[in-house]
Structure 1
Amino acid sequence: MSEERRVHLARSARPSYDALAAFSKTVIAAAADAGIDDRLREIVQLHASQLNGCAYCVRVHVERGTEAGLEADTIAQIPVWRESGVFSERERAALELTESFTFIHEDGIPDDVYDHVGGILSEAEYVALSWILVSINAFNRIAVAGRYPVPPKA
């Protein structure tokens, strides 16, 4: 089936999409209150989108990440964060949590990840990042299922 013939969930069930968008705004506001800055928020959303193969969301979060101060080199290092030296301990913990949430069907959140991340992030930060990851994974699934075309650069 071609892209043009796929159901576009955001248009076909606008109230549901609007509810998800409102949820996302609530999650982002709560994350800011918990001390999650724009840079960290965009790093995890970009990485989840990369892992889910969501080109649409990658484009959106590269642009938002750039606005939040991420440089091209930092963005390019996200897929290889384990080998990279450009991320702080806190960012590395968030990236590790991102991978566990995105691939939650494999092992849940393994105890070693939970313990490691929990030793670096506060409970409020862990909770806030978890909700951000729930939200972005939902958006990724909508865009991937609908084969949303990559939006033009802003």
Structure 2
Amino acid sequence: MSQRFNLRQIAPDGYKAFGPLYQYIETSGLDRRLVDLVFLRVSQINGCAYCVDLHWRDLIGAGEDQRRLNSLVTWKEAPFFTARERAALAWTESLTNIAQTGAPDADYALVKSEFSEKEVGDLTIVISLMNAMNRVGISSRLAPAA
């Protein structure tokens, strides 16, 4: 599969506009590993091969356990995730599949039980940004290097 277009080249100002969101996330106070887990899970759900590869490598580089990463797709059944991570992953799936879920009150109540209101907002930004980046990667046919 060949790349359709390079957004950095054809719309550089639009592409650069994502940068401040990444910078905000870095200073939000959310744990970097949690952010990368969420980035990876969003990318798995959306099927963005480039982003799955990128965030998997980021997590491995940060010392994340491969067993946890291999079990991320089965996080509901796997015993390797904390209550806070589970709440974040549930919110991630709810928002990433929002056309089907409608982000129900039960999902909000769960994430609110583990995160402050600001953290829920920041987590929502993390999820939204990765969903946007996945759409850029998938539509342009961006692929990981072999």
Q: TM-score range by the shorter chain?
A: over 0.9
The equivalent of 1:128 in structure 2 is 122
Q: Tell me if the contact between 1:49 and 1:58 (Cα under 8 Å) persists in the aligned partners.
A: yes
Alignment size in residue pairs:
146
The equivalent of 2:17 in structure 1 is 19
The structural deviation recorded for 1:85 is 0.2
Q: One-letter code of the match for 2:9?
A: R
Q: One-letter code of the match for 2:26?
A: I
Identity of aligned residues (%): 34
Q: Secondary structure at the match of 1:87?
A: coil
Question: Which range is displaced more, 14-23 or 95-104?
Answer: 14-23
Gaps of 5+ in 2: none
- 1:46-75, Cα deviation, whole Å (9 max, x unpaired): 000000000100111011112233111110
Q: One-letter code of the match for 2:116?
A: S
Q: One-letter code of the match for 2:12?
A: R
Q: Indicate the RMSD between aligned Cα atoms, in angstroms.
A: 1.4
Q: Secondary structure at the match of 2:43?
A: helix
The structural deviation recorded for 1:3 is 2.3
Q: Tell me if the contact between 1:8 and 1:146 (Cα under 8 Å) persists in the aligned partners.
A: yes
The equivalent of 1:114 in structure 2 is 108
- 1:64-104, Cα deviation, whole Å (9 max, x unpaired): 11223311111001000000000000000000011011111
Pick aligned residue for 2:63 from 69, 74, 87 = 69
Distance 1:110 1:72 in 2: 32
The equivalent of 1:3 in structure 2 is 2
TM-score (norm 1): 0.88
Pick aligned residue for 1:53 from 33, 44, 47 = 47
The structural deviation recorded for 1:126 is 1.0
Q: Tell me if the contact between 1:28 and 1:132 (Cα under 8 Å) persists in the aligned partners.
A: no
Q: Tell me if the contact between 2:26 and 2:32 (Cα under 8 Å) persists in the aligned partners.
A: no
Gaps of 5+ in 1: none
TM-score (norm 2): 0.93
Q: One-letter code of the match for 2:35?
A: R
2:73 aligned with 1:79: yes
Q: Following TM superposition, where does structure 1 have runs of at least 4 consecutive aligned residues deviating by more than 4 angstroms?
A: none
